[in-house]
Structure 1
């Protein structure tokens, strides 16, 4: 039986992992980390399948909730071929090495604390190490351009289309033959809005029998990007003019580059008040170099600057911060700063100590420019908690809190509906990668507007293709 089974991003946002069985061929779509309070422990649980039996791993893009368990997959026996775009391969390398480093640091911290209580044996070893990450990139990779067909055994073909989510992101088309008829199953990965700041918009799809589609924002419509840019600029300018500081918890991929592009434009248009801008994220610095490396994946305006003499992600008042010592020195600058730091959901990283030092001051502004998973510190702040705990200390939330969802790299409800509507012969539709209540809302909207029945995938439950 040809089938699909979801072992992540089923009834939840993170942990994307979908097993496609086409006769004897087993294809895994992504192998991501579970993220959020109470979910991260699931990363240490056994896979619901034998990694050694997987023939192909297709990676849609290089966010950790889509690639974060790949080293674990390799460690536990996967020896097949990995398929992705070239930017995704390069970005995955820096993301996974950074992840391994964080896992090692977390392990040392937890072990040190447990040792003081005499129960260090209960602390699990890191999920994987840098050596395991290196093994991933020693495997066989096949790099695809968008809409380049790649033949697999048993008359199966794989094609990737531009998902418009982050650089190199792709939706996956798998063509297979059943009862002498060619059929197609499509996995959206994470798809972006058609209105993007720095990368080309997603490609439309027309052919497909079965679609597995993300539903992160299936319950809402984003503010128009122009309004979001206006809100961002006003918030930055207002905060700086009152001698406050702007802290932007930002994802190293795509969101940081979008923010740098906007600040670059503000600086060169004389809109940016006098200030110091700190990019306090070694990972984001590395990712930005890759964005400059692949200008063909950028929007026409940004690509033009990249190919010319200018750097669209840099300007005179920007300071890139690499070391921890440099990061700590930022705290000595008391006013008129913009601090861009990870992690984007405030569940670790350098942004934590910036929040600890500035969250309690009502002159400052925290600008959230990305999705905050339930159970993260970022979600607690935007949900209005009066106090939050950072490094064991209760911190009062007095800074201005701005949430600008228009920057989201995810398509909103209208974008998703429009993309689905492009399919001309769609027979089966499944919702993945979304919070359960949001998928319920999205499913009803799909029924009302498109007259399609959308089923919600359940963890570990197989569906027939």
Structure 2
């Protein structure tokens, strides 16, 4: 039987997820994500390593930018098929792609003017990677689908979404390929979530699979305890308030911002932190919060409290650019939650520019920072950073809270894989930096006795 996987992204790095499943003369793409690491961003501009017009369908695991953010370029390059995603993922993907397109347009114009002023050309063209019009062209191709309901992709290929936690609507996908009396199955993990987290139900059991493509973002480490989050958050806020600075929190618009507000609400209710002004400076996060309200069937039992916290007094939802700029004129301490989570674009860059050289302020990271991103550079202790074309001395307190992560850690990934009802023929370890992927692949060999490999970028593996 014809059966192969091509690895066109998220190989020995954590962004740019993109796989092509070839079976029964069909080409099915799983995710089409944006690269966010600086060293790999040129891949976003390159021609696709396959003809987009020959891709029959796309199946989207979830709506994070590194999984859906290159769909506008795929469509513009000739893809005409359907894009299947869970109902919540369709809603969020529209918001994510539109926001990215607007940032692309704004950044391109900003860079064009700066490069013209400086008399030089940057490493990428001074045009948007894609436009709002390009993003909107994707929308008619999005097909909302339910969990645990087979998708018939023709030629003996079926797909099915299984709940995996991580973010609202996130799924792993099981493909079943049948030819005559013979069948094979392969699971693509997407990003695996965690157990006992706010908002979402726990990942569901996997059942059978012959092959697994498994993420390994935290495949070499364990998270901090979730119970420590309020303690650590209170310490950072109280310390910074005493120093008279601002707490700047780069945050992902989906899930992380909502969780932050939940924890802040609990701390304020208990009077464990001062009643500072809290700004959610992310139009995308505000829109995503509305999506949460449209999909209550995905919530766990704690979400009633969380939804109440969205109307918490003292939280200002910042929509306009003028409102965003005015935050930097406020005297006294404030908490600013802004996107993007890895500081690769968006309003967080402006807030960093106004605070990163202030010893009294704190930059608090609450999510994964991919290698090569501005967030990772700051977190790794760079004494100087370049933000929006200017050099800044890093004098602010730089810290992080690890318990927030929406990604399963090493132990939780093992817990998820143990729900397989059989021993897989092979596990492909992807979506992790080199050490994380190799460490996790070795663990699966040594402890599970499984055939596990770390695939290379732009390679194709034939399956039995």
TM-score class, shorter: over 0.9
1:409-428 maps to which residues of 2 (within 5 A)? 409-425=406-422, 426-428=424-426
Partner of 1:14: 15
Partner of 2:311: 314
Quick one: distance in 2 between partners of 1:272 and 1:315? Answer: 15
Q: Flag the 1:274–1:429 CA change in 2: closer, same or farther, 3 A.
A: same
Partner of 1:215: 216
Offset, 1:441: 1.2
Quick one: distance in 2 between partners of 1:146 and 1:189? Answer: 14
Quick one: distance in 2 between partners of 1:356 and 1:149? Answer: 48
Partner of 1:441: 439
Partner of 1:297: 298
- Give yes or no for contact 1:264–1:314 (8 Å, CA) kept in 2: no
Equivalent position SS for 2:328: helix
Partner of 2:388: 391
Q: Flag the 1:392–1:83 CA change in 2: closer, same or farther, 3 A.
A: closer
Quick one: distance in 1 between partners of 2:232 and 2:238? Answer: 10
Offset, 1:394: 3.1
- Give yes or no for contact 1:103–1:128 (8 Å, CA) kept in 2: yes
- Give yes or no for contact 1:195–1:225 (8 Å, CA) kept in 2: no
Partner of 1:125: 127
Partner of 1:274: 275
Partner of 1:460: 458
Quick one: distance in 1 between partners of 2:121 and 2:183? Answer: 56
Quick one: distance in 2 between partners of 1:276 and 1:240? Answer: 11
| CA deviations over 1:337-396 (Å, ceiling 9, x no partner) | 111011111222222222222222333222100111112221122111222222343323
Quick one: distance in 1 between partners of 2:391 and 2:153? Answer: 55
Q: Which is worse superposed, 194-203 or 112-121?
A: 112-121
1:275-424 maps to which residues of 2 (within 5 A)? 275-302=276-303, 304-305=304-305, 311-424=308-421
Partner of 1:183: 184
Q: Which is worse superposed, 229-238 or 190-199?
A: 229-238
Q: What is the root-mean-square deviation in Å for CA atoms of aligned residues?
A: 1.9
Equivalent position SS for 1:398: coil
Q: Flag the 1:123–1:242 CA change in 2: closer, same or farther, 3 A.
A: closer
- Give yes or no for contact 1:256–1:284 (8 Å, CA) kept in 2: yes
Equivalent position SS for 2:167: coil
1:43-54 maps to which residues of 2 (within 5 A)? 43-54=44-55
Offset, 1:241: 4.2
Quick one: distance in 2 between partners of 1:372 and 1:254? Answer: 16
Offset, 1:299: 2.1
| CA deviations over 1:150-195 (Å, ceiling 9, x no partner) | 2221222111011101000110001111451222100000011113
- Give yes or no for contact 1:162–1:203 (8 Å, CA) kept in 2: yes
Aligned pair count?
A: 460
Quick one: distance in 2 between partners of 1:448 and 1:69? Answer: 36
Q: Which is worse superposed, 91-100 or 382-391?
A: 382-391
- Give yes or no for contact 2:230–2:267 (8 Å, CA) kept in 1: no
Partner of 1:3: 4
Quick one: distance in 1 between partners of 2:416 and 2:407? Answer: 13
Q: TM-score, normalised by structure 2?
A: 0.95
Structure 2, gaps ≥5 residues long: none
Equivalent position SS for 1:405: coil
Partner of 1:429: 427
Q: TM-score, normalised by structure 1?
A: 0.94
